[in-house]
Structure 1
């Protein structure tokens, strides 16, 4: 399957993307992770991307599209993929449509995560990541480490990303409203969009996503998943 997971920052896209991709045995492709790899390596692309990311702005389309086109061209995407963080605006969505059309394929589903903005700010501003392993994530209120500033798993230093600071989060939300939200309308016209509540436990949200793409079992409350 070829799936796009979309929603505002803090909706839990990264968490759900990892679990959903694993469940479906497809590649999880995160635009954010690709850029952070370049930032950590100190490449020119990474330096340029950091300037935009740290101020809450989107990385320019030309750079983003080029990076994702190369990634989608790798052999490990042939069985399917889940895109997380791309496309973020209409030009990127149109570019993605073209890339997939050139390979004779297209998206199978678009999952749109919904969440109140106040919840987003609380989730992101309190988040802390481990410098040794970014999959080790804590929250100052909801899941604090046993020792302040240290990862419970490996002892690595915990830090707050520049794009997780409150002022930057609010700027990211403004960008999402003006540039990313219209992407949902772009794909809704093709009948691909299922809107899913991102509130609740991780497993509850995952169950809604699986049900939306026809992979779930049992009953999920209708308020949690809707086809639009």
Structure 2
């Protein structure tokens, strides 16, 4: 599925303050597409830990240098550094109305740290801050496998096709560029199975954490893109109203 920056669906209720949103979903559910639509509807940024990490390294921040040193040694970046980078990002003015988190919090420890950090930001600023809510896009695993293994990408214009649901006019070639389409090495059944195991083991405690606090909803991601967006925004309104 392709990400899109603009769409024709009706805008969300302008009276709703979205606040921080964690968009969850297994590989292939369409999180990127839905994040772009929410950004357009609410005028809030998407915050990717990958982007934050690359930005800190490029700017040579203290956190970026520490992370780069570990990565150069083949080590994972620990929660302490990731948390620090996210905390720094959340001080920027474009997040005041809300933001969409991508790839974070990935673990229960990160979720607990973020909850505490958001409370401290509220206390420091002396203003009301909304708690993070989590919305998961759910798609049947067999359908996800079909989406992933059928995915083909144009290396030139980056258009994404699917040999099952969105095939190119000429098999194996991009409609726009005529370039041979690529099949990513991680878009295989074996790779998908491993990614699902990792996703489920990491995400289950995060979902349980937010469920216990009444800050979690699940939506059906198998429907049309516009319908999924409407369901996400309805879930968000419900969560915000329930928290008032």
- TM-score scaled to structure 1, two decimals? 0.73
Indicate yes or no: 2:131 matched with 1:113. Answer: no
SS in 1 for 2:217: strand
Please give the alpha-carbon distance, in whole angstroms, between the structure 1 residues aligned to 2:24 and 2:173.
31
SS in 2 for 1:112: strand
Please give the alpha-carbon distance, in whole angstroms, between the structure 1 residues aligned to 2:54 and 2:167.
24
Residue ranges of structure 2 left out of the alignment (5+ in a row): 1-17, 58-63, 123-128, 239-244
Q: In the alignment, is the contact (CA less than 8 A) between 2:70 and 2:77 conserved in 1? A: no
Corresponding residue for 1:89?
Answer: 107
Residue ranges of structure 1 left out of the alignment (5+ in a row): 53-57, 216-228
Compute the displacement of 1:128 (Å).
3.0
Corresponding residue for 1:177?
Answer: 200
Corresponding residue for 1:74?
Answer: 92
Call closer, same or farther: CA 1:61–1:108 in 2, change over 3 Å.
closer
Indicate yes or no: 2:148 matched with 1:124. Answer: yes
- Structure 1 window deviating more from structure 2 (98-107 vs 158-167): it is 158-167
Call closer, same or farther: CA 1:60–1:170 in 2, change over 3 Å.
farther
Indicate yes or no: 2:115 matched with 1:103. Answer: no
- TM-score scaled to structure 2, two decimals? 0.69
Call closer, same or farther: CA 1:116–1:194 in 2, change over 3 Å.
same
Please give the alpha-carbon distance, in whole angstroms, between the structure 2 residues aligned to 1:64 and 1:162.
27
SS in 2 for 1:6: strand
User: Out of 212, 220, 241, which is 1:189 matched to?
Assistant: 212
Q: How many residues align?
A: 206
- Structure 1 window deviating more from structure 2 (191-200 vs 124-133): it is 124-133
User: Out of 137, 141, 150, which is 2:160 matched to?
Assistant: 137
SS in 2 for 1:172: helix
